[in-house]
Amino acid sequence: MIKKLVVGLLIGISTFKAYANQPVVYPVNWWVGMKTNKLQLLFKSTDTTFSKGTISTKYPGVSVLGSQTFENGKYLAVDIEIESHTQPGNVDFIYSRDNAQSHISWLLKTRKSIPGKDFAQGISTADLVYLILPDRFSNGDTTNDRVSGMRDQSLNRADYYARHGGDFKGVIKHLDYLQDLGVSALWMTPVMENDMPNRTEHGYAITNHYKIDARYGGNDGYRALSDSLHRRNMKLVQDAVYNHTGTWHVLVQDLPAKDWLNQWPEYTSTSAREQALFDPYASQIDKKRMSSGWFVKEMPDWNQRNANVANFIIENAIWYIEEFGVDAIRLDTYMYNDLEFGNKCNAAIMNEYPQISLFGEMMVQQTPNQAFFVQNNINNAFTSNLPGAVDFVTLFNGLIPSLTQEQGWGTGIIHLYNVLSQDFLYKDPTRNVVLLDNHDLNRFFSVVKGDLAKQKIAYTWLLTTRGIPQLYYGSEVLMAGEIKPDGLVRLDFPGGWNNDSKNAFTGKGMSADEVAMQQLVKKLGTYRKNSSALKSGKLMQFTPKDGLYVYFRYNDQQTIMCVLNASDKPRKLDFSYFNERTNGFSRAKNIIEGTDIRFNDATEIPAHQEWVLELYK
């Protein structure tokens, strides 16, 4: 009898072991105490018959609710629920098949930080965001310039399309510089693994949603950067790509099912005509082409109408926020996403993190087109829940024509006034992120044809207007470049590499104009940190006349008068005309020049200049 019992135990032990082909589980881990406690785990095995088994667990507080198979037998989707009392630890999932059982371990972590306090804080008009391409800012660790086994082994700073070696350590090394500019939030282009054969410097062709690119410093490096920012009371903005992925993505290379991607008989690109999504007369094919066409051939388009795909993307979005302490999310190519998916994903994130900020990229030309994709006051069949946008319209339709056209009744600076007057379409236009340039646009210094005075006006406006200002790395030291014909808008930051002949961090080799521009940004950026009117005040603008545009930022504590002369002649200021805001004040301090101004008829602002005046009684 004892012999039989021992034999039986040995058989039991031999059939209850770690799974031979240990599957990858997505998400790779989770946390106890999350509002998001119902998950769909995707198990991916190398075994083509893996889906013939079942998954169960006896872990206290974790229940398996059901499972789903796919065309591809390597996958199982398992729905689980994590109860509120569940303790952290390694969840033992039991894989059963053919009267045998094996173990698959999955980690439940303890939440180490408090959302809304330590991370997921959101960004606001009080912040100043700095956008970096991490490959092009600073090389702080040469040992990760090339990573063995990755497809792209390029490393050539002379080749614009190759990798240059910038990384997280390089960014951490220069956080003092960013703070000296007044920067309080860092946004980098995507940092997830991009294991593509070439053109990996930009980061938008993700190949593994749960790995940070090792050439930047990997998961540990990203966590170190996040911690470094938070120790300085700075914030981390993540660039998230939900619409598409890279052709070498671990799932795309071995799809669970064909309907995980938007498939076409032959390659079909998006039309990039967002009008089809709100046009009352639009055809169905135009709507489909807009949302389901591929961004480019190398970036397959996720079918977000597929519930499994939606679950995979949403859970990953939440995982990143929790794992790395993300404070805000910039949503890449937002207008190409399925509209209902966008709302679902936003709702899930904001439910878990009520204070987080979300702002989407919609590179459109008109205010109604942009407002359609965010929380708005438009009566339409579709209502977006996205809080904010990257405000391309104010740039394209406002600032650029204001500084590049002749000044006239219907030209020049009136465009800036006009575009801001359309803010009534937004629920909250202050959640929009305003900019002069970014990695997809001409550098603003090139837009104004190298005109230093106009560059100074542009930055002065950026740091005093409504919304959340965003700087693009290097434009504060007059980096130039255009998308066409050469595309040189993503060059290396001067001084980010050892032995650079010019160093914008130290001033070495910089021209007088470059230093002057940098100093202006530092002065206004620093002033802005302590200016309640600029950080959270209201905006009042007056109709421009003869190229002179006056607007105010104000609250009960402070009044800032901004005077922008876009004309080629000096203009007199009649302070009495602006008495709705100047009444009770008799003098002002010019924040940029440091001079005092008395309100009188002799006050005159020179051509092509903007003043920032703090008013006093």
Residue pLDDT, tens place only, 360-404: 999 999 999 999 999 999 999 999 999 999 999 999 999 999 999
- In angstroms, the CA 492 to CA 292 distance is 35
**Residue 485, preceding peptide bond in cis (omega within 30° of 0):** yes
Residues 526 and 546 placed together within one structural domain of the fold: no
- Rounded to 5°, the CA angle 517-538-454 comes to 25
The answer to the question of residue 336 being in a domain is yes
**Residue 27, preceding peptide bond in cis (omega within 30° of 0):** yes
For residue 263, CA distances in Å to 258, 288, 289, 479 come to 8, 12, 11, 41
Catalytic machinery residues:
332, 361
- Rounded to 5°, the CA angle 331-126-554 comes to 125
Residues 304 and 186 placed together within one structural domain of the fold: yes
**Residue 422 in this model has a pLDDT that exceeds 50:** yes
DSSP state of 269: B
Which tokens in the block code for residue 472?
């693009």
Residues 13 and 67 placed together within one structural domain of the fold: yes
For residue 209, CA distances in Å to 196, 261, 318, 343 come to 14, 16, 12, 21
Q: Which of 17-21, 283-287, 437-441 has the lowest mean pLDDT?
A: 17-21
Residues 241 and 373 placed together within one structural domain of the fold: yes
How much is the pLDDT for 600? 85
Mean pLDDT of 257-274: 98
> How confident is the model over 162-220, as pLDDT tens digits?
999 999 999 999 999 999 999 999 999 999 999 999 999 999 999 999 999 999 999 99
3-class DSSP assignment, residue 596: strand
Residues 96 and 158 placed together within one structural domain of the fold: no
Total count of domains within the chain: 3
Output the domain CATH number for residue 97.
Answer: 2.60.40.10
**Residue 14 in this model has a pLDDT that exceeds 70:** no
**Residue 18 in this model has a pLDDT that exceeds 70:** no
Q: Which residues of 524-541 are buried (b: 16+ CB within 10 A; e: fewer)?
A: bbebbeebebbbebebeb
3-class DSSP assignment, residue 281: coil
Which domain-ending residue is among 500, 517, 534?
534
Q: How many CB atoms lie within 10 A of CB 383?
A: 12
Mean pLDDT of 100-124: 97
Q: Percent of the chain, pLDDT > 70? A: 97
The answer to the question of residue 225 being in a domain is yes
Residues 587 and 465 placed together within one structural domain of the fold: no
The answer to the question of residue 368 being in a domain is yes
Domain containing 603: what range? 539-616
